[in-house]
A and B are shown apart, each in its own frame.
Chain A
Amino acid sequence: MAFTGLFLIFFLLIHGYVNANVLFENGEENFNRAANFMSTNALIRIMEIGLFAGFIIHIIQGYALERMNRAARSNKYAVSGVSKTSTWYSRSMAILGTLILLFLVIHLADFWVPSRFGGLEEVTYGSVETHNLYAKMKEVFSKEWAVIVYVVGCFSLAWHLLHGFQSAFQTLGWKHKNYAGIIEGIGVGFSVIVPLIFALMPIFMYFGWELPIGNITLLF
Protein backbone atom coordinates (compact mmCIF):
# COMPACT_ATOMS: atom_id res chain seq x y z
CA MET A 1 0.00 0.00 0.00
CA ALA A 2 2.79 2.34 0.98
CA PHE A 3 4.96 1.98 -2.15
CA THR A 4 2.02 2.32 -4.54
CA GLY A 5 0.56 5.07 -2.37
CA LEU A 6 3.72 7.16 -2.60
CA PHE A 7 3.92 6.51 -6.34
CA LEU A 8 0.33 7.75 -6.74
CA ILE A 9 1.14 10.77 -4.58
CA PHE A 10 4.01 11.56 -6.97
CA PHE A 11 1.57 11.21 -9.88
CA LEU A 12 -0.86 13.66 -8.23
CA LEU A 13 1.92 16.21 -7.99
CA ILE A 14 2.71 16.00 -11.72
CA HIS A 15 -0.97 15.87 -12.71
CA GLY A 16 -1.79 18.89 -10.56
CA TYR A 17 1.22 20.83 -11.83
CA VAL A 18 0.37 20.30 -15.49
CA ASN A 19 -3.35 20.94 -15.10
CA ALA A 20 -2.88 24.05 -12.98
CA ASN A 21 -2.20 25.78 -16.31
CA VAL A 22 -5.96 26.12 -16.79
CA LEU A 23 -6.23 28.38 -13.74
CA PHE A 24 -4.08 31.09 -15.29
CA GLU A 25 -4.25 33.56 -18.16
CA ASN A 26 -3.74 32.04 -21.60
CA GLY A 27 -4.62 28.72 -19.96
CA GLU A 28 -6.10 27.20 -23.09
CA GLU A 29 -2.89 27.26 -25.12
CA ASN A 30 -0.55 26.53 -22.22
CA PHE A 31 -2.62 23.60 -21.02
CA ASN A 32 -3.15 22.09 -24.48
CA ARG A 33 0.57 22.31 -25.21
CA ALA A 34 1.37 20.66 -21.86
CA ALA A 35 -1.23 17.94 -22.48
CA ASN A 36 0.27 17.37 -25.92
CA PHE A 37 3.71 16.92 -24.38
CA MET A 38 2.34 14.45 -21.85
CA SER A 39 0.58 12.37 -24.52
CA THR A 40 3.44 12.31 -27.05
CA ASN A 41 6.51 11.92 -24.82
CA ALA A 42 7.68 8.27 -24.92
CA LEU A 43 8.83 8.24 -21.30
CA ILE A 44 5.50 9.58 -20.08
CA ARG A 45 3.62 6.98 -22.10
CA ILE A 46 5.68 4.21 -20.49
CA MET A 47 5.01 5.78 -17.08
CA GLU A 48 1.30 5.67 -17.93
CA ILE A 49 1.40 1.87 -17.97
CA GLY A 50 3.14 1.94 -14.59
CA LEU A 51 0.50 4.34 -13.35
CA PHE A 52 -2.36 2.01 -14.29
CA ALA A 53 -0.49 -0.86 -12.62
CA GLY A 54 0.05 1.31 -9.53
CA PHE A 55 -3.65 2.13 -9.31
CA ILE A 56 -4.73 -1.48 -9.80
CA ILE A 57 -2.27 -2.88 -7.23
CA HIS A 58 -3.20 -0.16 -4.72
CA ILE A 59 -6.94 -0.84 -5.17
CA ILE A 60 -6.75 -4.64 -5.04
CA GLN A 61 -4.35 -4.63 -2.10
CA GLY A 62 -6.51 -2.10 -0.29
CA TYR A 63 -9.67 -4.17 -0.58
CA ALA A 64 -7.81 -7.39 0.33
CA LEU A 65 -6.39 -5.67 3.42
CA GLU A 66 -9.80 -4.36 4.46
CA ARG A 67 -11.33 -7.82 4.06
CA MET A 68 -8.58 -9.55 6.07
CA ASN A 69 -8.74 -6.96 8.81
CA ARG A 70 -12.50 -7.22 9.15
CA ALA A 71 -12.17 -10.99 9.35
CA ALA A 72 -9.73 -10.74 12.29
CA ARG A 73 -12.60 -9.92 14.68
CA SER A 74 -15.68 -12.07 14.14
CA ASN A 75 -17.45 -10.93 17.32
CA LYS A 76 -17.73 -7.17 17.38
CA TYR A 77 -17.79 -4.98 20.48
CA ALA A 78 -21.20 -3.95 21.81
CA VAL A 79 -19.70 -0.55 22.69
CA SER A 80 -16.86 0.83 20.59
CA GLY A 81 -14.49 3.44 21.99
CA VAL A 82 -12.34 3.56 18.88
CA SER A 83 -13.58 7.03 17.94
CA LYS A 84 -11.90 8.39 21.08
CA THR A 85 -8.49 7.01 20.15
CA SER A 86 -8.20 7.42 16.36
CA THR A 87 -9.37 9.77 13.61
CA TRP A 88 -12.43 8.88 11.53
CA TYR A 89 -10.54 9.21 8.27
CA SER A 90 -7.77 6.84 9.38
CA ARG A 91 -10.46 4.22 9.96
CA SER A 92 -12.30 5.02 6.71
CA MET A 93 -9.57 4.54 4.12
CA ALA A 94 -11.54 1.82 2.32
CA ILE A 95 -14.68 3.96 2.07
CA LEU A 96 -12.73 7.06 1.02
CA GLY A 97 -10.79 4.91 -1.44
CA THR A 98 -14.05 3.59 -2.90
CA LEU A 99 -15.31 7.15 -3.38
CA ILE A 100 -12.05 8.00 -5.15
CA LEU A 101 -12.37 4.87 -7.30
CA LEU A 102 -15.90 5.85 -8.36
CA PHE A 103 -14.60 9.32 -9.13
CA LEU A 104 -11.69 7.83 -11.09
CA VAL A 105 -14.03 5.84 -13.34
CA ILE A 106 -16.06 8.99 -14.12
CA HIS A 107 -12.88 11.00 -14.57
CA LEU A 108 -11.30 8.51 -17.02
CA ALA A 109 -14.54 8.31 -18.99
CA ASP A 110 -14.69 12.11 -19.18
CA PHE A 111 -11.13 12.83 -20.30
CA TRP A 112 -8.81 9.85 -20.72
CA VAL A 113 -11.08 7.82 -23.03
CA PRO A 114 -11.81 10.64 -25.52
CA SER A 115 -8.17 11.77 -25.57
CA ARG A 116 -6.95 8.24 -26.33
CA PHE A 117 -9.74 6.88 -28.51
CA GLY A 118 -10.85 9.99 -30.35
CA GLY A 119 -13.70 12.38 -29.86
CA LEU A 120 -11.74 15.59 -29.32
CA GLU A 121 -11.47 18.49 -31.74
CA GLU A 122 -8.02 19.46 -33.00
CA VAL A 123 -6.32 22.81 -32.53
CA THR A 124 -3.04 24.18 -33.95
CA TYR A 125 -0.49 26.32 -32.13
CA GLY A 126 2.23 27.38 -34.59
CA SER A 127 3.57 24.09 -35.93
CA VAL A 128 2.01 21.93 -33.23
CA GLU A 129 -1.32 20.27 -33.88
CA THR A 130 -2.95 18.85 -30.75
CA HIS A 131 -6.24 17.75 -29.16
CA ASN A 132 -8.22 20.56 -27.62
CA LEU A 133 -8.52 18.96 -24.19
CA TYR A 134 -9.20 22.40 -22.75
CA ALA A 135 -12.42 22.64 -24.76
CA LYS A 136 -13.42 19.24 -23.42
CA MET A 137 -12.85 20.48 -19.86
CA LYS A 138 -15.00 23.55 -20.58
CA GLU A 139 -17.75 21.28 -21.90
CA VAL A 140 -17.67 18.83 -18.96
CA PHE A 141 -17.49 21.56 -16.33
CA SER A 142 -20.39 23.52 -17.80
CA LYS A 143 -22.72 21.15 -15.90
CA GLU A 144 -23.34 21.82 -12.21
CA TRP A 145 -23.54 18.14 -11.24
CA ALA A 146 -20.15 17.43 -12.83
CA VAL A 147 -18.59 20.27 -10.82
CA ILE A 148 -20.15 18.86 -7.63
CA VAL A 149 -18.94 15.30 -8.39
CA TYR A 150 -15.41 16.54 -8.98
CA VAL A 151 -15.33 18.67 -5.83
CA VAL A 152 -16.63 15.72 -3.75
CA GLY A 153 -13.92 13.57 -5.36
CA CYS A 154 -11.31 16.11 -4.27
CA PHE A 155 -12.65 16.13 -0.71
CA SER A 156 -12.42 12.32 -0.56
CA LEU A 157 -8.87 12.56 -1.88
CA ALA A 158 -7.92 15.14 0.74
CA TRP A 159 -9.09 12.97 3.67
CA HIS A 160 -7.53 9.86 2.09
CA LEU A 161 -4.19 11.67 1.77
CA LEU A 162 -4.38 13.17 5.24
CA HIS A 163 -4.02 9.67 6.65
CA GLY A 164 -2.21 8.03 3.75
CA PHE A 165 0.75 10.38 3.38
CA GLN A 166 2.26 9.96 6.85
CA SER A 167 0.98 6.36 7.02
CA ALA A 168 3.12 5.40 4.00
CA PHE A 169 6.25 6.63 5.75
CA GLN A 170 5.32 4.75 8.92
CA THR A 171 4.75 1.51 6.98
CA LEU A 172 8.10 1.79 5.21
CA GLY A 173 9.78 2.44 8.54
CA TRP A 174 10.94 5.89 7.46
CA LYS A 175 10.36 7.43 10.82
CA HIS A 176 12.74 9.19 13.11
CA LYS A 177 11.75 11.36 16.05
CA ASN A 178 13.64 14.34 14.60
CA TYR A 179 11.93 14.18 11.19
CA ALA A 180 8.49 12.68 11.93
CA GLY A 181 7.06 16.17 12.53
CA ILE A 182 8.41 17.46 9.22
CA ILE A 183 6.91 14.52 7.29
CA GLU A 184 3.56 15.02 9.04
CA GLY A 185 3.65 18.73 8.25
CA ILE A 186 4.42 18.16 4.58
CA GLY A 187 1.69 15.50 4.53
CA VAL A 188 -0.96 17.87 5.88
CA GLY A 189 0.16 20.63 3.50
CA PHE A 190 0.08 18.27 0.51
CA SER A 191 -3.32 16.84 1.51
CA VAL A 192 -4.87 20.30 1.65
CA ILE A 193 -3.11 22.14 -1.18
CA VAL A 194 -3.10 19.54 -3.97
CA PRO A 195 -6.80 18.53 -3.72
CA LEU A 196 -7.64 22.25 -3.39
CA ILE A 197 -5.84 23.03 -6.67
CA PHE A 198 -7.73 20.16 -8.34
CA ALA A 199 -11.06 21.35 -6.89
CA LEU A 200 -10.43 24.90 -8.15
CA MET A 201 -10.22 23.66 -11.78
CA PRO A 202 -13.89 22.70 -12.28
CA ILE A 203 -14.96 25.74 -10.21
CA PHE A 204 -12.86 28.17 -12.28
CA MET A 205 -14.05 26.56 -15.52
CA TYR A 206 -17.69 26.71 -14.49
CA PHE A 207 -17.55 30.40 -13.59
CA GLY A 208 -15.09 31.27 -16.37
CA TRP A 209 -12.51 32.63 -13.94
CA GLU A 210 -8.78 32.85 -14.50
CA LEU A 211 -5.94 34.29 -12.46
CA PRO A 212 -4.42 37.36 -14.14
CA ILE A 213 -0.93 35.85 -14.20
CA GLY A 214 0.41 34.20 -17.33
CA ASN A 215 2.84 31.34 -17.82
CA ILE A 216 3.32 30.53 -14.17
CA THR A 217 3.53 26.80 -14.71
CA LEU A 218 5.75 24.94 -17.12
CA LEU A 219 5.43 25.60 -20.81
CA PHE A 220 6.03 22.55 -22.92
Chain B
Amino acid sequence: MIYEEISAESRARRTLTGTARMLLALKLDGPLLIGLALVAIYGLFVLYSASGQSIATVIRGAIRLGIGAVAMLVLAQVNPNFLRRTAPALYALGIVLLIIVDVTGYVGKGAQRWLDLGFIRFQPSELMKLAVPMTCAWFLHERPLPPSPLTLLVTAALILVPAGLVVVQPDLGTGVLITIAGGLVLVMAGLQMRIMAALAVLGVIGAWVGWHFLHDYQRQRVLTFLDPQSDPLGAGYHIIQSQIAIGSGGVFGKGWMNGSQAQLEFLPERQTDFIFAVMGEEFGLLGLAILLLLYLFIVGRALFLAMQTQDTFARLLGGSLALTFFVYVFINAGMVSGLLPVVGVPLPLVSYGGTSMVTLLAGFGILMSLYSHRKLVGS
Protein backbone atom coordinates (compact mmCIF):
# COMPACT_ATOMS: atom_id res chain seq x y z
CA MET B 1 0.00 0.00 0.00
CA ILE B 2 2.54 2.51 1.09
CA TYR B 3 4.79 1.44 -1.70
CA GLU B 4 2.06 1.99 -4.19
CA GLU B 5 1.45 5.48 -2.95
CA ILE B 6 5.03 6.54 -3.01
CA SER B 7 5.47 5.02 -6.40
CA ALA B 8 2.53 6.94 -7.78
CA GLU B 9 3.77 10.19 -6.36
CA SER B 10 7.27 9.73 -7.56
CA ARG B 11 6.03 8.92 -11.03
CA ALA B 12 3.88 11.99 -11.01
CA ARG B 13 6.76 14.16 -9.93
CA ARG B 14 8.69 13.07 -12.92
CA THR B 15 6.01 13.47 -15.57
CA LEU B 16 3.74 16.31 -14.53
CA THR B 17 4.16 20.06 -14.91
CA GLY B 18 4.41 22.38 -11.94
CA THR B 19 0.76 23.42 -12.13
CA ALA B 20 -0.41 19.87 -12.30
CA ARG B 21 1.78 19.00 -9.33
CA MET B 22 0.26 21.82 -7.36
CA LEU B 23 -3.27 20.70 -8.25
CA LEU B 24 -2.38 17.23 -7.27
CA ALA B 25 -1.02 18.44 -3.94
CA LEU B 26 -4.24 20.41 -3.38
CA LYS B 27 -6.28 17.32 -4.32
CA LEU B 28 -8.03 19.31 -7.06
CA ASP B 29 -8.97 18.21 -10.54
CA GLY B 30 -7.65 20.53 -13.22
CA PRO B 31 -10.20 20.03 -16.02
CA LEU B 32 -13.15 20.26 -13.64
CA LEU B 33 -11.66 23.36 -12.06
CA ILE B 34 -11.23 24.99 -15.46
CA GLY B 35 -14.81 24.20 -16.42
CA LEU B 36 -16.15 25.66 -13.18
CA ALA B 37 -13.97 28.74 -13.49
CA LEU B 38 -15.07 29.42 -17.05
CA VAL B 39 -18.74 29.25 -16.09
CA ALA B 40 -18.17 31.41 -13.02
CA ILE B 41 -16.31 34.10 -14.98
CA TYR B 42 -18.92 34.04 -17.72
CA GLY B 43 -21.53 34.39 -14.98
CA LEU B 44 -19.83 37.42 -13.44
CA PHE B 45 -19.82 39.19 -16.80
CA VAL B 46 -23.51 38.55 -17.22
CA LEU B 47 -24.14 39.61 -13.64
CA TYR B 48 -22.47 42.94 -14.32
CA SER B 49 -24.92 43.57 -17.13
CA ALA B 50 -27.94 42.13 -15.33
CA SER B 51 -27.35 44.24 -12.23
CA GLY B 52 -27.32 47.41 -14.30
CA GLN B 53 -23.54 47.74 -14.39
CA SER B 54 -23.23 47.46 -10.65
CA ILE B 55 -19.61 46.63 -9.95
CA ALA B 56 -20.53 46.27 -6.29
CA THR B 57 -22.90 43.43 -7.10
CA VAL B 58 -20.22 41.72 -9.14
CA ILE B 59 -17.77 42.04 -6.27
CA ARG B 60 -20.27 40.56 -3.84
CA GLY B 61 -20.89 37.73 -6.30
CA ALA B 62 -17.17 37.12 -6.61
CA ILE B 63 -16.79 37.07 -2.83
CA ARG B 64 -19.49 34.42 -2.60
CA LEU B 65 -17.70 32.51 -5.30
CA GLY B 66 -14.50 32.78 -3.28
CA ILE B 67 -16.22 31.43 -0.18
CA GLY B 68 -17.47 28.50 -2.28
CA ALA B 69 -13.98 27.94 -3.66
CA VAL B 70 -12.58 27.84 -0.12
CA ALA B 71 -15.26 25.33 0.88
CA MET B 72 -14.35 23.28 -2.18
CA LEU B 73 -10.65 23.42 -1.35
CA VAL B 74 -11.22 22.43 2.27
CA LEU B 75 -13.58 19.57 1.45
CA ALA B 76 -11.18 18.31 -1.21
CA GLN B 77 -8.65 17.67 1.56
CA VAL B 78 -11.06 15.73 3.76
CA ASN B 79 -10.60 12.01 3.62
CA PRO B 80 -13.66 10.30 2.09
CA ASN B 81 -13.63 7.77 4.89
CA PHE B 82 -14.13 10.59 7.35
CA LEU B 83 -16.93 11.96 5.21
CA ARG B 84 -18.56 8.57 5.10
CA ARG B 85 -18.31 8.06 8.83
CA THR B 86 -19.63 11.50 9.68
CA ALA B 87 -22.46 11.39 7.13
CA PRO B 88 -25.06 9.92 9.55
CA ALA B 89 -24.18 12.45 12.23
CA LEU B 90 -24.42 15.31 9.74
CA TYR B 91 -27.75 13.94 8.60
CA ALA B 92 -29.07 13.75 12.17
CA LEU B 93 -27.91 17.30 12.85
CA GLY B 94 -29.64 18.46 9.67
CA ILE B 95 -32.91 16.80 10.69
CA VAL B 96 -32.81 18.49 14.10
CA LEU B 97 -32.10 21.87 12.56
CA LEU B 98 -34.87 21.44 10.02
CA ILE B 99 -37.34 20.67 12.80
CA ILE B 100 -36.19 23.75 14.71
CA VAL B 101 -36.66 25.85 11.59
CA ASP B 102 -40.09 24.41 10.96
CA VAL B 103 -41.19 25.03 14.53
CA THR B 104 -39.91 28.59 14.67
CA GLY B 105 -41.43 29.18 11.27
CA TYR B 106 -44.74 27.89 12.56
CA VAL B 107 -44.51 30.12 15.58
CA GLY B 108 -43.51 33.09 13.47
CA LYS B 109 -46.38 32.44 11.09
CA GLY B 110 -44.66 32.51 7.72
CA ALA B 111 -42.03 31.00 5.52
CA GLN B 112 -38.94 30.14 7.51
CA ARG B 113 -35.91 28.74 5.79
CA TRP B 114 -32.92 29.81 7.76
CA LEU B 115 -31.50 29.85 11.24
CA ASP B 116 -29.98 33.02 12.50
CA LEU B 117 -26.75 32.03 14.19
CA GLY B 118 -25.92 35.61 14.95
CA PHE B 119 -22.95 35.92 12.64
CA ILE B 120 -24.48 34.09 9.71
CA ARG B 121 -27.84 33.01 8.43
CA PHE B 122 -27.71 29.32 7.87
CA GLN B 123 -30.14 27.28 5.76
CA PRO B 124 -30.33 23.71 7.06
CA SER B 125 -31.98 22.74 3.77
CA GLU B 126 -28.75 23.62 1.96
CA LEU B 127 -26.85 21.33 4.31
CA MET B 128 -29.32 18.57 3.52
CA LYS B 129 -28.63 18.89 -0.20
CA LEU B 130 -25.25 17.32 0.60
CA ALA B 131 -26.09 15.36 3.74
CA VAL B 132 -28.89 13.35 2.13
CA PRO B 133 -26.90 11.91 -0.80
CA MET B 134 -23.95 11.35 1.53
CA THR B 135 -26.09 9.41 3.98
CA CYS B 136 -27.75 7.41 1.20
CA ALA B 137 -24.36 6.51 -0.21
CA TRP B 138 -23.13 5.61 3.28
CA PHE B 139 -26.19 3.41 3.82
CA LEU B 140 -25.85 1.63 0.45
CA HIS B 141 -22.09 1.37 0.75
CA GLU B 142 -22.26 -1.69 2.98
CA ARG B 143 -25.14 -3.35 1.19
CA PRO B 144 -25.20 -5.48 -1.95
CA LEU B 145 -26.45 -3.71 -5.04
CA PRO B 146 -28.86 -3.47 -6.74
CA PRO B 147 -30.67 -2.65 -3.48
CA SER B 148 -33.05 -5.11 -1.94
CA PRO B 149 -36.63 -3.98 -1.26
CA LEU B 150 -35.89 -3.41 2.43
CA THR B 151 -32.80 -1.38 1.62
CA LEU B 152 -34.82 0.56 -0.87
CA LEU B 153 -37.51 1.38 1.69
CA VAL B 154 -35.02 2.54 4.28
CA THR B 155 -33.22 4.67 1.72
CA ALA B 156 -36.50 6.13 0.58
CA ALA B 157 -37.28 7.08 4.17
CA LEU B 158 -33.82 8.64 4.54
CA ILE B 159 -34.62 10.83 1.55
CA LEU B 160 -38.25 11.68 2.11
CA VAL B 161 -38.15 12.66 5.79
CA PRO B 162 -35.81 15.66 5.30
CA ALA B 163 -37.40 16.46 1.95
CA GLY B 164 -40.79 16.57 3.61
CA LEU B 165 -39.47 18.83 6.36
CA VAL B 166 -38.17 21.23 3.73
CA VAL B 167 -41.38 21.19 1.70
CA VAL B 168 -43.43 22.26 4.73
CA GLN B 169 -41.13 25.27 5.33
CA PRO B 170 -42.51 25.78 2.63
CA ASP B 171 -39.76 25.43 0.03
CA LEU B 172 -41.00 23.06 -2.64
CA GLY B 173 -38.06 23.69 -4.98
CA THR B 174 -35.38 22.71 -2.47
CA GLY B 175 -37.49 19.79 -1.28
CA VAL B 176 -37.65 18.46 -4.80
CA LEU B 177 -33.90 18.99 -5.26
CA ILE B 178 -33.12 17.04 -2.06
CA THR B 179 -35.36 14.21 -3.23
CA ILE B 180 -33.63 14.22 -6.60
CA ALA B 181 -30.15 14.25 -5.01
CA GLY B 182 -31.03 11.22 -2.88
CA GLY B 183 -32.96 9.52 -5.65
CA LEU B 184 -30.00 9.82 -8.01
CA VAL B 185 -27.89 7.91 -5.48
CA LEU B 186 -30.44 5.11 -5.71
CA VAL B 187 -30.47 5.28 -9.50
CA MET B 188 -26.72 5.04 -9.67
CA ALA B 189 -26.89 2.19 -7.15
CA GLY B 190 -28.76 0.23 -9.77
CA LEU B 191 -32.35 0.85 -8.84
CA GLN B 192 -34.34 -1.55 -10.96
CA MET B 193 -35.98 -0.13 -14.06
CA ARG B 194 -39.38 -1.60 -13.15
CA ILE B 195 -39.29 0.12 -9.78
CA MET B 196 -38.49 3.38 -11.49
CA ALA B 197 -41.41 2.86 -13.84
CA ALA B 198 -43.67 2.06 -10.89
CA LEU B 199 -42.41 5.18 -9.13
CA ALA B 200 -43.21 7.23 -12.20
CA VAL B 201 -46.80 5.98 -12.10
CA LEU B 202 -46.94 6.63 -8.40
CA GLY B 203 -45.52 10.08 -9.05
CA VAL B 204 -48.34 10.95 -11.39
CA ILE B 205 -50.91 9.80 -8.86
CA GLY B 206 -49.01 11.56 -6.11
CA ALA B 207 -48.96 14.76 -8.12
CA TRP B 208 -52.70 14.57 -8.52
CA VAL B 209 -53.17 14.07 -4.79
CA GLY B 210 -50.45 16.53 -3.88
CA TRP B 211 -52.17 19.23 -5.93
CA HIS B 212 -54.69 19.58 -3.15
CA PHE B 213 -51.98 20.19 -0.60
CA LEU B 214 -50.12 22.83 -2.59
CA HIS B 215 -50.11 26.44 -1.51
CA ASP B 216 -51.99 28.82 -3.75
CA TYR B 217 -48.82 30.39 -5.05
CA GLN B 218 -47.42 26.96 -5.86
CA ARG B 219 -50.58 25.98 -7.72
CA GLN B 220 -50.45 29.27 -9.52
CA ARG B 221 -46.95 28.52 -10.70
CA VAL B 222 -48.11 25.26 -12.18
CA LEU B 223 -51.18 26.80 -13.81
CA THR B 224 -49.17 29.66 -15.19
CA PHE B 225 -46.64 27.23 -16.56
CA LEU B 226 -49.40 25.48 -18.44
CA ASP B 227 -50.75 28.74 -19.84
CA PRO B 228 -48.62 31.82 -19.22
CA GLN B 229 -50.87 34.04 -21.35
CA SER B 230 -53.75 33.52 -18.94
CA ASP B 231 -52.22 36.02 -16.55
CA PRO B 232 -49.75 38.13 -18.53
CA LEU B 233 -49.32 40.85 -15.93
CA GLY B 234 -49.54 38.62 -12.91
CA ALA B 235 -48.15 35.15 -12.48
CA GLY B 236 -47.45 34.69 -16.20
CA TYR B 237 -45.41 37.86 -16.37
CA HIS B 238 -42.10 36.22 -15.44
CA ILE B 239 -42.39 33.53 -18.06
CA ILE B 240 -43.62 35.78 -20.84
CA GLN B 241 -40.96 38.40 -20.23
CA SER B 242 -38.17 35.84 -20.00
CA GLN B 243 -39.27 34.21 -23.23
CA ILE B 244 -39.39 37.61 -24.91
CA ALA B 245 -35.89 38.26 -23.62
CA ILE B 246 -34.50 34.98 -24.87
CA GLY B 247 -36.41 35.03 -28.16
CA SER B 248 -35.49 38.60 -29.03
CA GLY B 249 -31.83 37.72 -28.48
CA GLY B 250 -31.73 35.71 -31.68
CA VAL B 251 -28.68 33.74 -32.68
CA PHE B 252 -26.01 36.26 -31.75
CA GLY B 253 -27.77 38.30 -29.08
CA LYS B 254 -28.16 42.03 -28.66
CA GLY B 255 -24.72 42.40 -27.19
CA TRP B 256 -23.37 42.74 -23.70
CA MET B 257 -25.35 45.29 -21.68
CA ASN B 258 -27.64 45.93 -24.62
CA GLY B 259 -30.48 43.62 -23.69
CA SER B 260 -33.50 45.87 -23.46
CA GLN B 261 -35.62 43.40 -21.54
CA ALA B 262 -32.96 43.07 -18.91
CA GLN B 263 -31.63 46.63 -18.86
CA LEU B 264 -35.08 48.20 -18.77
CA GLU B 265 -36.21 45.98 -15.94
CA PHE B 266 -38.91 44.15 -17.82
CA LEU B 267 -37.27 40.94 -16.79
CA PRO B 268 -37.91 40.12 -13.15
CA GLU B 269 -35.33 38.36 -10.98
CA ARG B 270 -32.81 39.06 -13.69
CA GLN B 271 -29.80 38.80 -11.39
CA THR B 272 -30.94 35.62 -9.73
CA ASP B 273 -33.26 32.95 -11.09
CA PHE B 274 -33.74 34.51 -14.51
CA ILE B 275 -30.16 35.41 -15.32
CA PHE B 276 -30.24 32.69 -17.99
CA ALA B 277 -32.68 34.91 -19.92
CA VAL B 278 -30.29 37.85 -19.68
CA MET B 279 -27.61 35.68 -21.24
CA GLY B 280 -30.00 34.58 -23.94
CA GLU B 281 -30.96 38.15 -24.75
CA GLU B 282 -27.49 39.59 -24.78
CA PHE B 283 -25.46 36.68 -26.13
CA GLY B 284 -28.10 34.85 -28.14
CA LEU B 285 -28.38 31.17 -28.92
CA LEU B 286 -24.62 31.04 -29.35
CA GLY B 287 -23.98 32.31 -25.83
CA LEU B 288 -26.46 29.88 -24.31
CA ALA B 289 -25.11 26.94 -26.31
CA ILE B 290 -21.58 27.72 -25.09
CA LEU B 291 -22.86 27.88 -21.51
CA LEU B 292 -24.70 24.57 -21.88
CA LEU B 293 -21.63 22.94 -23.40
CA LEU B 294 -19.52 24.16 -20.49
CA TYR B 295 -22.06 22.67 -18.11
CA LEU B 296 -22.03 19.43 -20.10
CA PHE B 297 -18.25 19.34 -19.84
CA ILE B 298 -18.44 19.85 -16.07
CA VAL B 299 -21.05 17.13 -15.62
CA GLY B 300 -19.19 14.79 -17.94
CA ARG B 301 -15.92 15.33 -16.13
CA ALA B 302 -17.64 14.91 -12.77
CA LEU B 303 -19.21 11.63 -13.90
CA PHE B 304 -15.84 10.49 -15.20
CA LEU B 305 -14.24 11.29 -11.85
CA ALA B 306 -16.98 9.38 -10.06
CA MET B 307 -16.38 6.38 -12.33
CA GLN B 308 -12.69 6.40 -11.46
CA THR B 309 -13.32 6.01 -7.74
CA GLN B 310 -12.85 2.64 -6.19
CA ASP B 311 -15.59 2.13 -3.64
CA THR B 312 -19.38 2.22 -3.59
CA PHE B 313 -19.71 5.22 -1.30
CA ALA B 314 -17.50 7.34 -3.52
CA ARG B 315 -19.11 6.21 -6.74
CA LEU B 316 -22.65 6.71 -5.57
CA LEU B 317 -22.00 10.07 -3.94
CA GLY B 318 -19.88 11.28 -6.85
CA GLY B 319 -22.45 10.19 -9.41
CA SER B 320 -25.23 11.83 -7.48
CA LEU B 321 -23.34 15.09 -7.11
CA ALA B 322 -22.55 15.21 -10.82
CA LEU B 323 -26.09 14.45 -11.89
CA THR B 324 -27.67 16.79 -9.33
CA PHE B 325 -25.59 19.57 -10.79
CA PHE B 326 -27.05 18.89 -14.18
CA VAL B 327 -30.55 18.74 -12.72
CA TYR B 328 -30.02 22.26 -11.41
CA VAL B 329 -28.99 23.43 -14.84
CA PHE B 330 -31.85 21.70 -16.56
CA ILE B 331 -34.53 22.91 -14.16
CA ASN B 332 -33.33 26.51 -14.28
CA ALA B 333 -32.84 26.65 -18.05
CA GLY B 334 -36.07 24.75 -18.57
CA MET B 335 -38.09 27.08 -16.39
CA VAL B 336 -36.64 30.26 -17.83
CA SER B 337 -37.19 29.07 -21.40
CA GLY B 338 -40.69 27.88 -20.65
CA LEU B 339 -40.15 24.12 -20.67
CA LEU B 340 -40.74 23.71 -16.94
CA PRO B 341 -42.77 25.54 -14.32
CA VAL B 342 -41.12 28.30 -12.35
CA VAL B 343 -39.71 26.60 -9.25
CA GLY B 344 -37.10 29.03 -8.01
CA VAL B 345 -33.97 27.04 -8.72
CA PRO B 346 -30.89 29.19 -9.36
CA LEU B 347 -28.61 28.72 -12.35
CA PRO B 348 -25.53 26.98 -10.91
CA LEU B 349 -22.46 29.20 -10.52
CA VAL B 350 -24.14 32.09 -12.34
CA SER B 351 -27.19 33.22 -10.37
CA TYR B 352 -26.44 35.88 -7.77
CA GLY B 353 -27.14 35.38 -4.11
CA GLY B 354 -28.25 32.54 -1.93
CA THR B 355 -26.06 29.87 -0.39
CA SER B 356 -26.54 27.43 -3.24
CA MET B 357 -23.28 28.50 -4.89
CA VAL B 358 -21.36 27.53 -1.74
CA THR B 359 -23.21 24.22 -1.49
CA LEU B 360 -22.51 23.40 -5.12
CA LEU B 361 -18.83 24.14 -4.90
CA ALA B 362 -18.64 22.21 -1.62
CA GLY B 363 -20.16 19.29 -3.52
CA PHE B 364 -17.47 19.56 -6.16
CA GLY B 365 -14.90 19.69 -3.36
CA ILE B 366 -16.26 16.41 -2.05
CA LEU B 367 -16.16 14.97 -5.56
CA MET B 368 -12.53 15.95 -5.98
CA SER B 369 -11.71 14.48 -2.60
CA LEU B 370 -13.40 11.23 -3.60
CA TYR B 371 -11.34 11.15 -6.77
CA SER B 372 -8.01 12.21 -5.39
CA HIS B 373 -8.26 9.84 -2.43
CA ARG B 374 -9.50 6.97 -4.55
CA LYS B 375 -6.44 4.86 -3.96
CA LEU B 376 -6.78 5.19 -0.18
CA VAL B 377 -10.37 4.20 -0.08
CA GLY B 378 -11.23 0.62 0.71
CA SER B 379 -9.97 -0.69 4.00
A and B assemble together: no
A residues with a Cβ closer than 8 A to B are none
